[in-house]
Structure 1
Amino acid sequence: MFKRLLPMAGHTRGNRSAVTCELKCGNACSNPVPNTSGNETFQQVAERAISRRAALAGGTGLAAAVVIGGQVAQAPEALADNGRPPRGGGKLDFEPIAPVMRTVDDVTVPAGYDWGTIIRWGDPLFADSPEFDIEHQTGASAAAQFGYNCDYLNVISDGGNDRRGYLVSNHEYTNEYIMFSPEYIASHPKDVVDAGIQSHGLSIVDLERTGKGAKWEYVRGGRRNRRITGTTPFRVTGPAAGSDLLKTVEDPTGTRVLGTLNNCAGGTTPWGTVLSGEENFNQYFTGRGTAEEKRYGIGTKPTSRGWENYYDRFDLTNEGYENEAHRFGWIVEVDPEDPTSTPVKHTLLGRFKHEAGTAVLSESGHAVVYSGDDERHDYLYKFVSAKTYRAGDKKHNMSLLDEGTLYVAKFHGDSPEREIDGTGTLPSDGAFDGWGEWIALASHKKSYVPGMSLEEVLVFTRLAADKMGATAMDRPEDVETNPVNGKVYAALTNNTKRTAVDEANPIVGNRDGHVIELTERRGDHTATRFNWVILLLAGDPAVSSSAYFAGYPKELVSPISCPDNVAFDSEGSLWVSTDGQPGTIGYADALHKVTLDGPERGRVQQFLAVPRDAETCGPVIHDRDNSVFVNVQHPGEDGMWGAHTSYFPDFLNPAGPVQVGDDVAAPRPSVVQVFNVTGNNGVGKGSGKEKAGKGKGGHGKGKGPKN
């Protein structure tokens, strides 16, 4: 039976939910840091620095909050001071909104914009899909509907077609406390487990609209519609395919895996496929207590979801299933144009908690993939293909990730150690910056790590990176390449456990996180050397002495904390979504624009805020369409069945429990489009908030494959 453990109850900051900690990452912060390597790249911090940092953090309260009661919020007055333009500028012009209180159950957007849902958890994807019935969910129904807790997102129009396209969305994890009633959990425990497994994975969904700039609608029964779940067959490729480390009693070949789990950020490749990172896979398994399992955070206690009670493969103590967890933690590749294709797990990109899988072509035509390992004190990685891209040859291009070299990053600062004191005080050269090197771990032909075979490096990549002295970072999450300036941007969400600092991670107890800008040598993504600089030290400048915005005046920026996903608009400006602001600076999670060039470099402007308890995920910026897309993940996470804290997106700010006809209302993770309603882009003025009832949202056009 599903168990509510909540080890983080009473230990989270602000309004951060202990439920999120339990279900999203398996209470990572309550467990010892898996990386105990103590790499020499750390500088030990004197006790005076720790004491000073504690003194600076103590005795301060949150800045005076601006209460937002409606859907549109006005800009903070400070943004208009000193003659600086209050609007966002660029193709997607907007007036920045003020920070939004964390209890507002709405999407808050700038004046002149509105929002609407494209698709929600449970919306039927196929002509024969059952309508969403929240009180009678099963594995079969979940496999035919849009999954839960959407994370990575991309929205792609068909080449030159303003009216048709598709979206791809990951489904990171499930929250059975608000998906099911206690009575249903008690009386239908296997249905709960099966629905949970099938609500993971990815969704590919066809879209249509009336014209450029208009709101997209999803197409029920679309040609590309597909659900990839926790039981979909995957093919394993690369040097570890067929390894004894991947074989189980159900797959003695080590080449076929059922399902993908905890899919977080990802990316669309230059050849049109989608990469998806398997992140906190450890929480689904009961382990044996081996050193390798501990390094990946796999515990020995029963899991909260209890999948191991019905499926032997989730209990690694069962004979023949010892390697099942080795079959997760990869980057997977899916072809959205072919719903009948078998998705792939790429072993040469390494096994760890992949937050991202960002593919870019170098000038030489080699495919390069960047990825972060989302764990305190873990690493940043890069893969470079051996073969080069061929235009129009998708079959060839889908093999690029099977041959090449996997690297891990080591950062070097250029300031004296005494100037990196853990407080965030800039060194004498005026910046936290330096150079770095990409250390080779393995190629498709051999291991570069002493004492480890090629297969061991790929299956136990964290241990390999430990041995090679990689720089332990503050939760490296999304890593994206800027299509305009060619630089690489890494979001480092936070690390409250940091007690020793280096110039790339300069804050003791870093609770707000930071963003690093990397420039590959000679502008070549295949280079083995890079330069780096910290672009942002996040925080609320009204209360944080360490907050830094590339030198831009602190009083003129929107507060920002816990950077998670990053994206770019057509002009190369950086957009940053957050995960954890309610627990650090007290405001709802948000999406911010960051200027990268000129006198405005480092200027942070808040574009939107998400509803109560929710996280902003997968931002997509279509500024030529005057549209922004985000996944609203885990709205109402801190509630329970019958005591919901959110009813997003269908019933906002209710006075009490909601029931409409035979439908019990509950929060539903959703894909949201924010669009301009001023009439200057072909969009008529009006609301996009469909209060969709049971079964609404499809167009009934044909039948598509389900797995």
Structure 2
Amino acid sequence: MSDTLHSADDNSNRSGNTTFESILQQRLARRDVLRGGLSVAATSMFGGFALVGCGGSSNGGGGGDPVATPDALGFSAVPKNLSDRVTLPAGYSARALYAFGDPISATVSDFSNDGTDGDSALRAGDQHDGMYYFGLSDSGTADHNNSSRGLLCINHEQVLDDYIHANGQRNVDANGNRLAAEVVKEMNAHGVSVIEVRDGASGWEYVQDSSFNRRVTAFTNMNITGPARGNARLTTPYSSGGTRTRGTLNNCGHGYTPWGTYLTCEENWFSYFRRDDDMAQRSLADNALFARYGMGPDSRGFSYRDWDTVSGDVYTRFDITVKAASAAADYRNEPNTFGYIVEIDPYSATSTPQKRTALGRFVHEGAWVGPVRAGQPIVYYMGCDSRFEYIYKYVSNANWDPADAVAGLTAGDKYLDDGKLYVARFNADGSGDWIELGFGLNGLNADNSLFPFTNQGDICVATRLAADAVGATQMDRPEWGAVNPVNGEVYMTLTNNTARTAVDATDAANPRNYARSGTGATNGNPNGHTIRWREDGDNVGATSFTWDIYLFGAPANADPSLANVSGLTDDNDHSSPDGLWFDNRGVLWIQTDDGEFPGAGRSNNQMLAALPGSVGDGGPRTIGSQATVVGAPATPDTVRRFLVGPVGCEITGVDMTPDNRTMFVNVQHPGEGGSLDEPRSTWPSNSRNALVSGETGNRPRSATIVITRDDGGEIGL
């Protein structure tokens, strides 16, 4: 998610929970903690080819079976640059496949890209983000090994105001209300695209007239499932029983299921709403709930778009002011129907998306499935993308039955509506605990001082408050996660935290507090890092784990004692790691979201490839005065820059076909911060060749690009 779109005041965690500083003062010797076989995985990882040992499906490679991990990367590092183009290694080509405004129906005209196009419900949304490739057979059924035809599910996170409307800005009528046509366009620009793609005679293309093509938007009807279904805090005029809602918002990261469905995740949904009521009009509990989710008496935030000023129930629901005697007569509870994981069946264009409340409600960055093994639970890892927020884990109560692999949303009912929700606590000895967020456990009951939890549904609505109550560990903006198909270890990016002050002291998992290059003030962790952990006993349902810090972002020329702890060079330095993904060979792909990366040569955002090793391949380290544990130093042989994007963009979302010969990458909001008079970018241009510069006069567009090797070989090797 773009930092420029992220609220400057998104820290609503005032819980005062324990930071790592207090617990790491008593840290035990790290090498003793990690003794006992964890280094075996590291040895196998780099000793030639390591066969995948987790079994079942992995979270990489478009659902293809895990294969073998290479012992070297096969391309030269791409130099940092500020070009308005996509830069790749020699021997690679890319072209734009599916850009904002592209039609997904044969009845819709080509996109003129001048702000006047209609039919927005049948066009690509804006700001492409998380993405997953689902293989499709010749007969139109699921084929997870097909590398030449498939369905791409693509998130559309936000709207780039500078270029979406005809005159480059939002317009209002004589009464100061938004124009209905513009609001419709913006609401349809959010959500998800499902499109058919295929490798044809002229290369990869999307199929404009496919029966699978579909848009899920802010208008789409959705079911609410799981423990919060029917909860009184989900009552609205649209659904007095609290069982249905409309739309999904700010879809950032994603996930997929072993039964072939897509998970889209609602991130910064909270600031789309307008609240103008007096706090006395709500209960103490509801005021605590809304405040903890960034919605005080005036909740209009950085994503607020005045949609509520348009006449009509589907628009006025964004005004959440208490106006009536009951919640069934106004939309005071509408925000409580957002903040969830949404399951979509890409193979059924008429199916209803399901909001799966059992996985908790917060600022969901994504949902990443753990190793899938017959007879064991289905596990998902999740991060809450705000400063000082938490890392979560969901464990299904049902054990995986491979017969459910074709059950679609019915399998979702089984595995995603009934399970245990946990939040992470990191301990002084290098271990960690998963604390269950279950009703009646760990003080989560009606007598809780933070919030009166009366059932599991309350916990699933007020998840942040439940995590506060059990003493979870605050983290630096948990973003994307990924699960290594080689050894089952889990990685998560902590993008940055510029809100850290002397009061918010450093800790072992967030050990840096220094001035960003070119600034004079100490502002915490401006360059971000990636943490990882291994479940005890390699058991996905374990309630304890071991952790270390894999990689620190920093400019190559930054102070190695404070910032460039991982020893980055010009071949691999980066800042604000965000997107994260393992392919089915165990190669880790890291995407950045740091605007124009400062330091040793400025650069647009980028994507790197890495051979990551394993937990325990490094050792103890003191950064400033803070003790921590870091992974093995990065080298150009183990971490290397693969791609640099065009001006103003974020690189986010990546997947490959199961044969690893085609890569899909999203380029989000090129030209952000510009205007029609002074556009910062004109990428990708009408030529569709993502390697050429934009053409004068074109408005920039978010787009999915397709990358191949010129010799047809595997990507990255």
- Counterpart of 1:504, as a letter, is A
The aligned runs of 1:11-410 (5 Å cut-off) are 24-25=5-6, 28-29=7-8, 31=9, 33-43=11-21, 93-101=74-82, 104-135=83-114, 137=116, 141-158=119-136, 159=143, 160-182=145-167, 185-186=170-171, 189-210=179-200, 215-287=203-275, 288=277, 290-298=287-295, 300=298, 302=300, 304-310=304-310, 311-319=315-323, 320-363=330-373, 364-393=375-404, 394-395=407-408, 396-399=410-413, 400-410=415-425
CA contact (8 A) 1:628 1:674 kept: yes
Change (3 A) 1:623 1:405: closer
Q: 1:505 aligns with which of 510, 519, 537?
A: 510
Q: What is residue 460 of structure 2 aligned with on the other side?
A: 458
The two structures, once aligned, show a CA RMSD in angstroms of 2.9
Measured in 2, the distance between the counterparts of 1:647 and 1:633 equals 13
CA contact (8 A) 2:597 2:605 kept: no
CA contact (8 A) 2:161 2:169 kept: no
Q: What is residue 576 of structure 1 aligned with on the other side?
A: 590
Q: What is residue 576 of structure 2 aligned with on the other side?
A: 562
Q: 2:487 aligns with which of 485, 488, 506?
A: 485
Q: What is residue 557 of structure 2 aligned with on the other side?
A: 542
Measured in 2, the distance between the counterparts of 1:251 and 1:352 equals 21
Measured in 1, the distance between the counterparts of 2:75 and 2:691 equals 26
Residue-by-residue CA offset, 1:576-624 (whole Å, 9 max, x unaligned): 1011151554321100112223998733200001100000001224584
Matched, 1:658 2:692: no
Residue-by-residue CA offset, 1:291-327 (whole Å, 9 max, x unaligned): 3222212251656411121222111105311100111
How far the C-alpha of 1:501 sits from its partner, in A, is 1.8
How far the C-alpha of 1:639 sits from its partner, in A, is 0.8
- Counterpart of 1:43, as a letter, is E
Q: What is residue 37 of structure 2 aligned with on the other side?
A: none
TM-score normalized by the length of structure 2:
0.77
Of stretches 590-599 and 305-314 in structure 1, the one that deviates more from structure 2 is: 590-599
Change (3 A) 1:638 1:379: same
How far the C-alpha of 1:203 sits from its partner, in A, is 0.4
- Counterpart of 2:551, as a letter, is L
CA contact (8 A) 2:84 2:693 kept: no
Q: What is residue 610 of structure 2 aligned with on the other side?
A: 594
Measured in 2, the distance between the counterparts of 1:463 and 1:645 equals 41
TM-score normalized by the length of structure 1:
0.78
CA contact (8 A) 1:91 1:624 kept: no
- The DSSP-based 3-state class of the residue aligned with 1:198 is helix
Matched, 1:629 2:619: no
Measured in 2, the distance between the counterparts of 1:549 and 1:388 equals 43
Q: What is residue 437 of structure 2 aligned with on the other side?
A: 441
Matched, 1:648 2:683: yes
How far the C-alpha of 1:133 sits from its partner, in A, is 3.6
CA contact (8 A) 1:201 1:229 kept: yes
Of stretches 366-375 and 292-301 in structure 1, the one that deviates more from structure 2 is: 292-301
CA contact (8 A) 2:380 2:395 kept: yes
Q: Across the two proteins, how many residue pairs are aligned to each other?
A: 588
Measured in 2, the distance between the counterparts of 1:333 and 1:216 equals 27
- The DSSP-based 3-state class of the residue aligned with 1:398 is helix
- Counterpart of 1:167, as a letter, is L
Measured in 1, the distance between the counterparts of 2:675 and 2:168 equals 13
Residue-by-residue CA offset, 1:407-441 (whole Å, 9 max, x unaligned): 00001133xxxxxxxxxxxxxxxxxxx11000000
CA contact (8 A) 1:270 1:360 kept: no
Q: Which runs of 5+ in 2 are unaligned?
A: 25-68, 137-142, 173-177, 280-286, 324-329, 514-523, 618-631
- Counterpart of 1:449, as a letter, is L
CA contact (8 A) 1:540 1:547 kept: no
Change (3 A) 1:32 1:674: closer
Change (3 A) 1:91 1:276: farther
Q: What is residue 522 of structure 1 aligned with on the other side?
A: 537
CA contact (8 A) 1:494 1:514 kept: yes
Residue-by-residue CA offset, 1:525-567 (whole Å, 9 max, x unaligned): 110000001011111131243577886x544751111011111
How far the C-alpha of 1:678 sits from its partner, in A, is 3.5
Matched, 1:667 2:700: yes
Q: Which runs of 5+ in 1 are unaligned?
A: 1-15, 47-87, 415-433, 660-664, 683-707
CA contact (8 A) 2:607 2:644 kept: yes
Change (3 A) 1:226 1:183: closer
Change (3 A) 1:680 1:250: closer
Measured in 1, the distance between the counterparts of 2:694 and 2:199 equals 35
Measured in 2, the distance between the counterparts of 1:654 and 1:272 equals 36
Residue-by-residue CA offset, 1:373-393 (whole Å, 9 max, x unaligned): 000000000000001222243
Residue-by-residue CA offset, 1:88-142 (whole Å, 9 max, x unaligned): 97686211112223xx11000001111111111011001222432434547x611
How far the C-alpha of 1:282 sits from its partner, in A, is 1.1
Q: What is residue 50 of structure 1 aligned with on the other side?
A: none
Q: What is residue 620 of structure 1 aligned with on the other side?
A: 655
- The DSSP-based 3-state class of the residue aligned with 1:464 is helix
